[in-house]
Amino acid sequence: MSNETPEDARRRITEELLEHERHSYRLKTEWNTYTPISKIPDEILIEILEAARKLLIYSAWYQLLGVCSHWRNVAVGKLTWWQRPPTHEHGLTLVMLQRTKNSVVDVEITNRTSLTTVVDLCNHIGRFRVLDIQQSETPSLRRTLECLLDSHQEFSRLEALSIWSQISGTESLDIPAIPFHQSRTVHTIQFININFDWNMFPCPNLTALILLNNHHTRQIPADHLLLILSQMPNLKNIQLDVDPILLRDIPVSSNSVVRLPLLLRLELRAVPVSLAQYLLSHLRLPSLKVIAISFLQSPERAYSNHSGIEQAVSSIIRNGNSGLLNRLSVDYDGFQIEQDWDTRTVWGDQTEIGFYNLLGHNTSANTLLHFKFMHSILRRLHQLTLGCDVSLDLFVLLQLCEIMISVEKIVVAGGPTALPTLIKAFEARQSPDMLFPELKTIQLENYDFDDNIEILQALCDILIKRKEYGLPVHKVYVPECDISRDNLNRLREIVEDVHRR
């Protein structure tokens, strides 16, 4: 009678099963090595062809399918592989349109797309899921639009429409509203440098509206834009060049508000201060993560009272999601407060606040100090970046630094004045109550220390002083080509971790 306990028996059986599985796997692997390519299992062949599709150009990948009928049949059955025809190759485009049968297709029309291909594509407009037009030649773009609009077919399955005219100069092309009039299928619209018709809006299921550089579009009042937005409650992304498309006259004030509960990103470019104040004061954006505003340069900026902007933006940020903000970037014409890149995946996860040209060039830090509601956000940011063109007043920088008590990393992106001014700020507060008590990392870019040895010496003195007061900087990044070995060794005597970038 065996002395084996039930637990030992289960363990032995488990080990035997594992060994059996390993042996079976080895046999299958060996069997596969002798299998003709025409007998490769479908699931493995699909993985092989998928990898090849990502590595090869379409024409080369298409030739692979001629290896045998089995490969061809497997590929033909994979409809998603044929849904984005290479429109620069007419013959292959026709093949892919045939292979997809009645499935949706994603169409991109570029300068390399012939008019013959465009004409054939127009026979399948009802299957378009994505239509992306990017052309830089006026005759080509004009003929493309004429073919699409004269086909008398409905864009019944269209989800994304992007038309980007890369034509330079004053000429612009018209996009009539009729083919896309208040479409219920379209989720994304992007018009760049195009004269579009406002009558195509609202599109009730639109999630992304991007209107940039449309200088020849008929301007509408700001309250008309708000009315359109109010009828598109699913919007998540709005990016507008405001000055070309809105009249500058401010509508009579009203108590009506537009609530966009799903909006994550609001970007207003070239917007007069008064229009920005009007638009922001009428929007309610509880899910907002990104707000970036580039103010139009105009005489009104230097003399206006910006309390209205402050109040409107403060309301939006308080009601939005600013809890993830942790990084400040200051440049010559504005600033951004954003979520760290390594903690976000796609733009929808991004959290950012940005303002540009509100008080004029090189006054972005003043704007931060002016907006009192920003101070609570500044106190918790852990990274400060000074742009290469920024020119900061020492007193303003000191005020800003005293607020930012949680900064752990400073990035100086170069330029002649940013680093010297920052060093002067450090020198002004050499005491136990130093600036940036949490500072651990300094990253310096595009700065020539060998030609500015006094700046390097001042930096070393500051690092030594912080070390003496128990506030050491642990890491310093310096430019690869702008510091000699001797100067690099000086830094390494003070800081435990010095990297050349």
Residue-wise pLDDT tens digits, 133-172: 998 877 888 899 888 888 878 889 999 999 998 876 556 6
- Count the residues in the chain: 501
For residue range 302-349, what is the model confidence (pLDDT) as tens digits? 445 566 676 777 777 666 555 555 566 655 555 666 665 443 333 334
3 state SS for 419-467 = HHHHHHHHHHCCCCCCCCCCCCEEEECCCCCCCCHHHHHHHHHHHHHHH
Per-domain residue ranges for the chain? 35-77, 82-218
Q: Residue 75's closest CA among 100, 54, 94?
A: 100
Instruction: Pick 254 or 358 by higher pLDDT.
Output: 254
Stretch among 150-159, 290-299, 445-454 having the lowest mean pLDDT: 290-299
Instruction: Pick 257 or 388 by higher pLDDT.
Output: 257
**CATH architecture, domain defined by 82-218:** Alpha-Beta Horseshoe (3.80)
Confidence of residue 421 (pLDDT cuts 50, 70, 90): confident
Query: In sequence order, which residues have a C-beta less than 8 Å from that of residue 10 and are 6 or more positions away?
Result: none
Residue 299, pLDDT > 50, answer no
Calculate mean pLDDT across residues 421-426. Answer: 87
For residue range 243-281, what is the model confidence (pLDDT) as tens digits? 888 887 877 666 778 999 999 888 888 888 888 888 888
